[in-house]
Amino acid sequence: MQHNALKLTKLLCETMTSDQRKSYEETTDHASKLLFEAARLGNYNFLTVLVGFFPDLIFRKDEKRKSIFHIAVLHRHAGIFTHIHNLGLRKDLIMLYRVNYSDQENPIVYNMLHLAAKLPSLDRLNIVSGAALQMQRELLWFKEVENLTPPSEREMRDSKDELTPQELFTKEHEELRKAGETWMKKTAEAGMIVATIITTVVFTTASSLPGGTDGGDGSPKNKDKTMFHVFAVADSVAMCSSIVSTMMFLSILTSRYAEKDFLVRLPLKLAAAVTTLLVSMMALMVSFSAIYFLVYCQSKLKWVPILASALSFLPAALFVLLQYHLLPDVFRSAFGSRYIFRPNKSTFWESFNKIFNENVSN
C-alpha cells in the first residue's frame, strides 16, 4: 500500500513539473498546498517526496505565514520538525517567523514557541496513555522549541492577551496538569494497595517456614534443600522490592505536582514504582512455587507443584496484559523521551533519495 502511494506521489510530482501549460510559480503553489496538508497530517514520506521534487518549498509559508516546521510543532509531528536541525543558519531565520493563529479579522500574532505552548488536538495528545504522560510530552515539545528559539523571542507577548509563551503554556495546560495529577494519584493509590498486600503476604510466609523447624535448635528442617534456598532468596527479594514500591508510590502521592515535576521526576518515580512492583510480584510467585516443590518433594504427584507453579504466575501475567498499553508508555516516557527530538542525520533530500530508491524506483 505504501509502495503504491509513493509511486502515485512520484507520478503526481512528475506530471506537475512536466506540465507546460503552467508556470513554475503556479506549479509550486499547487505543490505547496499539498505540502502543508502533508505536514498537518504528519505524512512524512509524502512530504519528503514533494520536497525532493521542489526543494524551495521547504522555506515556503502558507496563508497564515506558517512554514512546515510551524505546522509540525502545532500538530506535534516530531519526525518532520527534527529536520530543522539540518538547515544551518537558515534555521534561525525560520524561528523568527511570525504567524497568524486565527481566522478572525484581527488575527493573533504568535511565534513558533507560542505554537508549542498551545494545547494540540485530542488525537495528538492520545498518542501516549495517561494525562500525566501527556503533560510530560507537552513539556518536552515546549522545551525543545524553546532551546531553538532566540532569547529575544522567548519573552515575546502575543497580540491578543499579551502572554509570553511560558504564560500561554501554563494557561493552556492547566486542565491537563490537574488531570495528570488526578491520574497519577489514582495510579499510585492502586499500586500502593497491591504493594502493601504483597508485603503482608511475604512477611506472613517468611514467618511460617515451609516444613517447620527442628525442635532442638529451631533451624528449618529443609535448610539443606535447594528449593528452600530459592524460597529464602525470592522471599527476600519480594519483601525488599514491595517495600521500595510502596515508598515510591507514597512519594508520588506527596509530590507538589508543579509543571516541571511532570518532565522528569514524576515519570521516573512511576517507572521505578511499577518496576519494583513487577519484581515483587514475580519474586512472590517464585517463592510460592518453591514452597509447592518443598511440600511435594517426596510425593509421587510430581505434576501438582508444576501445575501450581504455572497457575501462580497467572496474576503477574494478567497484570501485564491488563496494563499492556500503559507499561510501555511509562518506561518510554521515563527513559526514552530524550530520543524523541534526536536530530535527523539525513536531510530531506537524502531521505528523498532513500525513499525513492527503496520504494518508488522498484
Q: Check residue 337 and report its DSSP letter.
A: G
Q: Tell me how far apart the alpha carbons of residues 15 and 17 are, in angstroms, rounded to a whole number.
A: 6
Task: Please report the sign of the dihedral spanned by the C-alpha atoms of residue 145, residue 263, residue 272, residue 196.
Answer: negative
For residue 130, tell me if it sits in a domain: yes
Residue numbers of the domain that contains 94: 85-172
Q: Are residues 160 and 301 in the same domain?
A: no
The partner residues of 99 in beta bridges, in order of sequence, read 110
Over range 216-245, report the average pLDDT.
Answer: 79
Tell whether the model's pLDDT for residue 35 goes beyond 70: yes
Q: Are residues 208 and 323 in the same domain?
A: yes
The partner residues of 213 in beta bridges, in order of sequence, read 220
Phi/psi of residue 256, nearest 5 degrees: -80, -30
Cα separation values, 349 from 87, 216, 357, Å: 12, 82, 12
User: Under a CB-based contact definition with an 8 Å cutoff, are residues 141 and 76 in contact?
Assistant: yes
Task: Please report the sign of the dihedral spanned by the C-alpha atoms of residue 185, residue 246, residue 234, residue 274.
Answer: positive
Q: Are residues 206 and 289 in the same domain?
A: yes
Q: Are residues 311 and 278 in the same domain?
A: yes
- Listed residues 130, 150, 172: the one ending a domain: 172
**Angle, to 10 degrees, between the axis of helix 265-295 and the axis of helix 303-312?**
170
Q: Tell me how far apart the alpha carbons of residues 199 and 235 are, in angstroms, rounded to a whole number.
A: 10
Query: What pLDDT score was predicted for residue 40?
Result: 93
CATH number at residue 327: 1.20.140
Phi/psi of residue 213, nearest 5 degrees: -125, 160
Q: What are the grid coordinates assigned to 36, written together?
A: 502543508
- Would you state the torsion angle of the CA atoms of residues 68, 78, 118, 60, taken in this order, to the nearest 10 degrees? -10
| Residue burial 200-210, b: 16+ Cβ < 10 Å; e: rest | ebbeebeeebb
Task: Please report the sign of the dihedral spanned by the C-alpha atoms of residue 144, residue 150, residue 152, residue 158.
Answer: negative
Q: Are residues 207 and 309 in the same domain?
A: yes
Q: Are residues 217 and 319 in the same domain?
A: yes
For residue 347, tell me if it sits in a domain: no
Helix, strand and coil percent figures for the chain, each rounded to 5: 70, 0, 30
For residue 355, tell me if it sits in a domain: no
Tell whether the model's pLDDT for residue 216 goes beyond 60: no
Query: What pLDDT score was predicted for residue 190?
Result: 92
Q: What are the grid coordinates assigned to 331, written together?
A: 518506561
Question: Residue 323 — very low, low, confident or very high, per pLDDT cuts 50/70/90?
Answer: confident
Q: Are residues 185 and 278 in the same domain?
A: yes
Q: Tell me how far apart the alpha carbons of residues 91 and 102 are, in angstroms, rounded to a whole number.
A: 24
- Return the number of other C-beta atoms located less than 10 Å from residue 297's C-beta: 14
Q: Are residues 207 and 240 in the same domain?
A: yes
Over range 43-60, report the average pLDDT.
Answer: 83
- Identify which has the larger pLDDT, 230 or 357: 230
pLDDT in tens, 168-185: 999 999 999 999 999 999
Question: Residue 117 — very low, low, confident or very high, per pLDDT cuts 50/70/90?
Answer: very high
Q: Check residue 213 and report its DSSP letter.
A: B
For residue 313, tell me if it sits in a domain: yes
Q: Are residues 49 and 140 in the same domain?
A: no
Q: Tell me how far apart the alpha carbons of residues 226 and 290 are, in angstroms, rounded to a whole number.
A: 9
Q: Tell me how far apart the alpha carbons of residues 181 and 130 are, in angstroms, rounded to a whole number.
A: 10
Lowest mean pLDDT: which of 12-26, 83-97, 234-248? 12-26
Query: What pLDDT score was predicted for residue 203?
Result: 86
> For the residues of 109-120, what is the DSSP string, one character each?
EE-HHHHHHS--
Lowest mean pLDDT: which of 10-14, 40-44, 204-208? 10-14
Any idea which residue has 522549541 for its cell? 145
Amino acid letter for position 337? S
Top-confidence range, 1-5, 60-64, 236-240, 314-318: 236-240
Lowest mean pLDDT: which of 1-5, 143-147, 159-163, 178-182? 1-5
Over range 226-231, report the average pLDDT.
Answer: 79
Q: Are residues 320 and 239 in the same domain?
A: yes
Tell whether the model's pLDDT for residue 135 goes beyond 90: yes
Helices (H), 214-259: 226-253
Strands 109-110 and 99-100: antiparallel
Q: What is the mean pLDDT of the chain?
A: 83
Question: Residue 100 — very low, low, confident or very high, per pLDDT cuts 50/70/90?
Answer: confident
Over range 234-249, report the average pLDDT.
Answer: 94
Query: What pLDDT score was predicted for residue 210?
Result: 59
Nearest to 245 by CA among 195, 181, 175: 195
Q: Are residues 154 and 190 in the same domain?
A: no
For residue 195, tell me if it sits in a domain: yes
Question: Residue 231 — very low, low, confident or very high, per pLDDT cuts 50/70/90?
Answer: confident
For residue 75, tell me if it sits in a domain: no
For residue 348, tell me if it sits in a domain: no
- Listed residues 172, 204, 226: the one ending a domain: 172
User: Under a CB-based contact definition with an 8 Å cutoff, are residues 29 and 336 in contact?
Assistant: no
Number of domains in the chain: 3
Q: Tell me how far apart the alpha carbons of residues 172 and 118 are, in angstroms, rounded to a whole number.
A: 6
- Listed residues 172, 204, 224: the one ending a domain: 172
| Opening angle at CA 47, ends 43 and 50, nearest 5 | 150
For residue 306, tell me if it sits in a domain: yes
Which three-class secondary structure state does DSSP give residue 108? coil
Query: What pLDDT score was predicted for residue 91?
Result: 87
Q: Are residues 163 and 214 in the same domain?
A: no
